[in-house]
Structures are given as C-alpha cells and as structure tokens.
C-alpha cells in the first residue's frame, strides 16, 4: 500500500479510537454493540479497536452487574470499562496570554486543571519552567504519581516542525521561535512529550469530543490574537510538509493594508484577529478596551463593536471560501476568543462563504461554533496523548 494511503488509514483509525474512548468515558461501562451504535462504527471496527485498547492495558471486561446469564440463557453480557490503574495523561496549552495545564485519566476525564495569565512577551525558558511547576502542582491536586503518567501533549500558537518539535518562525509568541519545545519540556518533566500547533489540537478535540464528532473532513478555525486552521481530512490530521498547513492568518486580503508581524502587508490577521479589532475600536471606546469587553458590548447591542466583529466574519469567510472550494469539507468549526461573539461572527462568515464559495461546497459545509470553548486546546493535547499512546509512549503503558 502507498505510504500516504497507509498513513491516512492509520490516522483515521486513531480518530476512531478516540471516538470509542469518548463513548467509554461517557458511559463508564458499555458493551461493544452500544459503542457501535453511539459512534456509527461497524461492529468489526469496534471489536478491533477495543482489542487494541485491551492490549495496551487501557480497557478491561466486566460481566454486566446482576446478570448471571444472557437473555437466552447463554453467557452474561460483557461490559467494557477503563482500567483506572492504566495511567494518566498531561495536557499543556500555551496561549498568547495564558498557560493552562490539565491532568486526566486515559478516558480524558479531567482530574485536575490549573490556569494562569502569561505575559505575552515572556521568555520561552521561563514559560517552560512555569509549565513544569504547574504540571507538578496539578499532579499533586489529582493525586497522580509522575510514574503513572504515560506522556504529555503540549500546544503552542504557531507552526511546529514535527520531527524535532521545533517552533516555526511565524509563531505568535516571538520568544519561542526556533525552540525545540518537545525536548526542552521532556527534560523538565522526565516524561515523553508531543508538541503540536494549537489549531491542530483544537481540531482534534472538536473532532473527538465536540462539534465535529460525526465529520470525517473538517476545518477548525481558531480566531484569537492569531488566526490558524486545523485540518482533518479523511480522518487524518493534516499538517503539511513543514507544519505550515492551516496558517490562514497570513493570507493576503488587502495589498495596501497595514504591515503584519510577518513583514507582509494586509494579512488576514491585520483585519480579523482580536488585537486588530480592539485597535480599531480604541479611538471610540477608550484605550483600556479589552477583547472580553468588546464581546460583552457587542452582545449588549453596541453598534461599533458589532460592526467590526461582523466585518471580521466577512473577511474570514472570504478566505475560508477558498479552502471550502479546494478541500470540500463537511464542517467548519470556529473556535478561539472571537468565537464568543456567536452568530454575529458566524453570520458574517456565512455571508462571504455563500457569495465566494462554489454553491455545492458552501451547501455541504456547515459553519458552526465550537462547543469546547477555551478548553479545546488542552483537551486536544490530552487526546493527542491517549490517541497515540500505543505508538509513541509504549514503554509507559501499564499492562492490565
């Protein structure tokens, strides 16, 4: 089988694995047949995925309580549940101005979580040290020993070169550019670490646990201080050859526009990122205006705030329309800080998509808000650990 096709099938299998894990997490104990019903997967696929989870020591079988025999007098029904002793995962989310850390069991159930504001100009080494301290505190809160942790996932707002976990040059945190983030974090935590772009982790979380559970092809658009897209195509998280796939924030929308942080003029970020919108409003709304205050005012009917958010939606939709034409996804999920504007933002996007995308591409792709909010990235980091545990962290798994 060609390597690309094999990789696509393997990625689809990992996404399906997360959907099985989600069903197990929701129900606590569940049969194979019920997992198939809830996920829409075939029974043979479910049986194969469950067998993998059992081999990894994550899932155990238990007879249904109070059932000595089956309905026809045969074997009692067998229910599946997570083995609580199998281990734990750590998620780390570096945002533009925050740091969030979470500890979960291998069903992605949160056991402890911490969040702190972060100086946007912080030094990368300082950020890593703070994250390591927060992980230690969160593990203590959860009552989890470090030896129980099978690995950590970490999200950063910028492209990540996967082979070395190196942060690319268009990262929104300038102090991180060129940092080998995975190895630096691994040295501090003494556990395996995987690093990915924040939009990719948001896509993974929404596909596994959120608005995109029924979609095999989706785009997750994160609109905050930066703008990026996570692409899941045929069940596969698509990163591109050097981690730059989905860098929509630097698509040209106004050749005569203001200079972007990347050095070009008129990038999408200069007209639709949260910082650009707040800057537009400060003359009329005061220098102390924040993103949260802008969103609150828009929800309260402030005409200026509503206008800039709707215009941002139209600019985003114009760029996204090209992606819809090229990739033809089933779903566009919008997350990030600006997603808090709800339909005020989404309606502007739908307007541009309807005008600029091919009619069939626009009809096929629903434009919806994400349901995981500002926790999408840390949940995606946890999901990354669990979905790839058998391949990336095999020596840390505890056999059942």
Whether 212 shows a pLDDT value over 50: the answer reads yes
Whether 20 shows a pLDDT value over 70: the answer reads yes
What is the model's pLDDT at position 103? 96
pTM of the model: 0.82
Ranges of beta strands (E only) in 50-126 are 59-63, 78-82, 88-94, 98-105, 110-117
**For the segment 242-266, what is each residue's pLDDT rounded down to a tens digit?**
888 888 999 999 999 999 888 899 9
Is residue 193 within 8 A of residue 381, CB to CB? The reply is no
Torsion angle of the four alpha carbons 18, 19, 23, 24, in this order, in degrees rounded to the nearest 10: -30
Confidence of residue 349 (pLDDT cuts 50, 70, 90): very high
- Report, as an integer, the average pLDDT of 338-366: 93
Q: How many of the other CB atoms lie within 10 Å of CB of 196?
A: 26
- Report, as an integer, the average pLDDT of 174-194: 89
Lowest mean pLDDT among 74-78, 226-230, 275-279, 280-284: 74-78
DSSP classification of residue 177: T
Domains located in the chain, CATH noted: 3-82 (1.10.10.10), 88-201+376-396 (3.30.420.40), 214-371 (3.30.420.40)
b/e map of 137-176 (b: 16 or more CB within 10 Å)?
ebbeebebeeebbbbbbbbbbbbbbbeebbbbebbbbebb
Mean pLDDT of the chain: 86
Token digits of residue 271: 């007209």
What is the model's pLDDT at position 235? 77
Token digits of residue 370: 């994400």
Confidence of residue 107 (pLDDT cuts 50, 70, 90): confident
- Burial of residue 287 (CB within 10 Å: 0-12, 13-18, 19+) is exposed
């Amino acid at each position: 089988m060609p390597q690309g096709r094999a990789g696509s099938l393997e990625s689809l299998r990992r996404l399906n694995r997360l959907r099985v894990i989600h069903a197990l997490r929701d129900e606590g104990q569940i049969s194979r047949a019920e997992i198939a019903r809830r996920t829409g997967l075939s029974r043979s696929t479910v049986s194969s995925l469950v067998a993998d989870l059992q081999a990894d020591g994550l899932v155990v079988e238990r007879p249904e309580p109070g059932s000595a025999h089956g309905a026809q007098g045969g074997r009692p029904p067998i229910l599946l549940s997570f083995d609580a002793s199998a281990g734990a995962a750590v998620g780390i989310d570096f945002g533009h101005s925050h740091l969030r850390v979470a500890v979960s069991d291998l069903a992605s159930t949160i056991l402890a979580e911490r969040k702190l504001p972060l100086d946007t100009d912080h030094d990368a080494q300082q950020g890593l040290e703070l994250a390591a301290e927060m992980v230690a505190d969160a593990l203590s809160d959860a009552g989890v020993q470090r030896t129980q942790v099978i690995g950590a996932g970490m999200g950063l707002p910028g492209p990540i070169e996967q082979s070395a976990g190196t942060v690319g040059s268009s990262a929104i945190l300038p102090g991180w550019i060129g940092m080998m983030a995975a190895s630096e974090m691994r040295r501090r935590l003494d556990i395996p670490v995987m690093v990915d772009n924040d939009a990719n982790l948001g896509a993974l979380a929404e596909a596994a646990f959120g608005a995109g559970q029924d979609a095999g092809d989706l785009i997750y658009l994160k609109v905050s201080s930066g703008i990026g897209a996570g692409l899941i195509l045929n069940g596969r998280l698509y990163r591109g050859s050097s981690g730059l796939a989905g860098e929509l924030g630097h698509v040209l929308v106004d050749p005569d526009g203001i200079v972007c942080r990347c050095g070009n003029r008129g990038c999408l970020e200069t007209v639709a990122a949260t910082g650009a919108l707040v800057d537009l409003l400060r003359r009329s709304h005061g220098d102390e205006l924040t993103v949260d205050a802008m969103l609150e005012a828009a929800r309260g009917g402030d005409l200026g705030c509503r206008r800039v958010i709707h215009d941002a939606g139209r600019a985003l939709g114009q760029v996204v329309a090209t992606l819809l034409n090229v990739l033809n996804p089933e779903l566009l999920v919008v997350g990030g800080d600006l997603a808090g504007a709800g339909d005020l933002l989404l309606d502007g996007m739908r307007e541009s998509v309807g005008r600029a995308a091919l009619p069939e591409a626009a009809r096929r792709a629903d434009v919806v808000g994400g349901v995981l909010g500002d926790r999408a990235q840390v949940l995606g980091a946890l999901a990354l650990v669990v979905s790839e545990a058998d391949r990336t962290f095999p020596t840390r798994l505890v056999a059942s």
